[in-house]
């Protein structure tokens, strides 16, 4: 009789222990599902980043291939998708009048750039840059470096259109002395900063650098 009472008293303890184990197993399953969910999200993010980098690399290689000839001749540079042309090739100092050699260079770029833009559904942003030296006082045409860089960008944009680039595929932007690529303390660095860059950009969701962009002929920057 006493043994039966002991067994009866022990039964609730095993029941409680079973419930506790069931709860722990449930918590473990929830944690496991949560960890697997995080791992899956991380894997997807990694795959997306890899795909993005592969697309960027393919885009860069396609642009290099399209511009192989002028790149090989050293007439232009290509850095992170930005096509750079020295200001001295295109313009005389403190001028927005396109030089003959500069126009000839732009003429050679129109066809490969147009093909590339059409294949990738992108637009061409033409950006003007200057050094940080103020405009000479005897130059009454430009108020400051912003205006000079704007006029140069517009000159190049219009020249591209005149040479066959569809107007809907190109626009101009002005940056003045902002975003230098070299120190302005030396003449060599200032010469590098006086430049025009052309960069393919998406048709939608353009980045903040294009806020000051304007279509050719609108005249505001």
The tokens for 94 are: 């403190």
Sequence-separated (6 or more) residues with CB below 8 Å from residue 194: 86, 87, 88, 93, 129, 130, 131
Q: How far apart are CA 105 and CA 122, in angstroms?
A: 22
Reply yes or no on whether the pLDDT at 216 is more than 60: no
Q: Do residues 160 and 112 both lie within one domain?
A: yes
- Over residues 169-187, mean pLDDT: 93
Pick the more confident residue, 6 or 156: 156
Q: What confidence score (pLDDT) does residue 18 get?
A: 64
Q: Which domain holds residue 141?
A: 67-214
- Listed residues 66, 94, 114: the one ending a domain: 66
Pick the more confident residue, 136 or 175: 175
Structure confidence by residue, pLDDT tens digits, 42-101? 777 777 777 666 666 677 777 788 788 888 878 888 888 899 998 888 998 888 999 999
- Determine, yes or no, domain membership for 221: no
- Determine, yes or no, domain membership for 51: yes
Q: Do residues 45 and 148 both lie within one domain?
A: no
- Determine, yes or no, domain membership for 219: no
> How many domains does the chain divide into?
2
Q: How far apart are CA 154 and CA 146, in angstroms?
A: 12
- Determine, yes or no, domain membership for 99: yes
Q: Do residues 85 and 187 both lie within one domain?
A: yes
Rg of the chain over all Cα atoms, to the nearest angstrom: 31
- Determine, yes or no, domain membership for 220: no
- Listed residues 66, 88, 118: the one ending a domain: 66
Q: Do residues 102 and 162 both lie within one domain?
A: yes
Q: Do residues 197 and 93 both lie within one domain?
A: yes
- Listed residues 66, 94, 117: the one ending a domain: 66
Pick the more confident residue, 209 or 220: 209
Q: Do residues 45 and 90 both lie within one domain?
A: no
Residue 173 bridge partners (DSSP): 127, 213
Q: Do residues 166 and 206 both lie within one domain?
A: yes
Q: Do residues 14 and 24 both lie within one domain?
A: yes
CATH number at residue 113: 3.30.1330.60
- Residue 196, Cβ neighbours under 10 Å: how many? 25
The tokens for 219 are: 């005249």
Torsion sign, CA atoms 217, 169, 213, 105: negative
Q: Do residues 178 and 199 both lie within one domain?
A: yes
Structure confidence by residue, pLDDT tens digits, 104-161? 999 999 999 998 999 889 999 999 999 999 887 777 788 889 999 999 999 999 999 9
pLDDT band at 215 (very low <50, low <70, confident <90, very high): very low
Q: Do residues 131 and 24 both lie within one domain?
A: no
- The 10 Å CB-count burial string (b at 16+, else e) for 73-109 is eebbbbeeebbbbbbebbbeebbbebeeebbebbebb
The single residue listed with the structure tokens 């010469």 is 191
Q: Do residues 62 and 83 both lie within one domain?
A: no
Q: What confidence score (pLDDT) does residue 122 get?
A: 93
- Determine, yes or no, domain membership for 210: yes
Q: Where are the alpha helices (DSSP H) in the chain?
A: 2-66, 68-72, 87-90, 100-120, 145-162, 187-193
Phi, psi of 198 (to 5 degrees): -125, 130
Residue 122 bridge partners (DSSP): 202
Of the listed ranges 25-29, 63-67, 149-153, 166-170, the one predicted with least confidence: 25-29
The single residue listed with the structure tokens 């940080």 is 132
- Over residues 168-179, mean pLDDT: 94
Per-residue DSSP letter, 144: S
Reply yes or no on whether the pLDDT at 212 is more than 50: no
Sheet holding 170-174, edge to edge: 77-79, 82-86, 195-202, 122-129, 170-174, 213-214
Q: Is residue 86 within a helix (H) or strand (E), and if so which, with residue range?
A: strand 82-86
Q: What confidence score (pLDDT) does residue 183 get?
A: 94
The tokens for 141 are: 């045409």
Q: How far apart are CA 207 and CA 221, in angstroms?
A: 16
Q: Do residues 57 and 101 both lie within one domain?
A: no
């Amino acid at each position: 009789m006493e043994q039966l009472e002991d067994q009866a008293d022990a039964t609730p303890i095993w029941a409680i222990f079973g419930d506790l184990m069931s709860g722990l197993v449930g918590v473990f399953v929830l944690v496991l599902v949560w960890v697997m969910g995080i791992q899956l999200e991380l894997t997807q993010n990694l795959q997306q980043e890899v795909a993005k980098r592969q697309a960027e690399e393919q885009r860069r290689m396609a642009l290099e291939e399209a511009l192989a000839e002028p790149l090989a001749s050293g007439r232009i540079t290509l850095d992170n998708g930005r096509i750079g042309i020295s200001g001295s090739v295109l313009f005389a100092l403190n001028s927005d009048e396109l030089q003959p050699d500069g126009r000839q260079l732009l003429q050679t770029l129109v066809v490969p750039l147009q093909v590339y833009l059409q294949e990738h559904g992108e637009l061409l942003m033409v950006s003007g840059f200057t050094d940080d030296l103020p405009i000479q006082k005897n130059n009454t045409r430009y108020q400051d470096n912003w205006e000079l860089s704007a006029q140069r960008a517009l000159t190049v944009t219009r020249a591209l259109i005149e040479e066959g680039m569809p107007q809907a595929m190109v626009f101009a932007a002005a940056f003045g002395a902002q975003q230098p690529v070299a120190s302005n303390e030396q003449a060599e660095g200032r010469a590098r900063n006086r430049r025009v860059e052309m960069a393919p950009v998406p048709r939608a969701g353009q980045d903040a650098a294009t806020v000051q962009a304007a279509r050719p002929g609108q005249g505001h920057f």
